[in-house]
Amino acid sequence: MRRSQVVFLGTESRYKWLYERVWAVAQECNRRFFCVDIAGVEANIQLARYDSSDQGFYDWHTDFAGYRPLRKLSVSIQLSRSDDYEGGDLELQHLPLPTKLDRSRGSFIVFPSFTLHRVAPVTRGTRWSLVAWVLGNRWR
CATH number of residue 100's parent domain: 2.60.120.620
Q: Determine the pLDDT at residue 12.
A: 83
How many folded domains does the chain comprise?
1
Residue 39 lies in a domain: yes
Residue 95 lies in a domain: yes
pTM of the model: 0.91
Structural domain for 98, as ranges: 2-135
Q: Determine the pLDDT at residue 57.
A: 87
pLDDT in tens, 43-56: 999 999 999 998 88
In percent, the amount of the chain with pLDDT more than 90 equals: 76
Q: Taking a C-beta distance cutoff of 8 angstroms, is the pair 78, 106 a contact?
A: yes
Categorize the per-residue pLDDT at 1 as very low, low, confident or very high, splitting at 50, 70 and 90.
low
DSSP 45-81: EEEEEEEGGGT-EEEEE-S--TT-TTEEEEEEEE-S-
pLDDT in tens, 71-123: 999 999 999 999 999 999 999 997 788 999 999 999 999 999 999 999 999 99
Residue 126 lies in a domain: yes
Residue 20 lies in a domain: yes
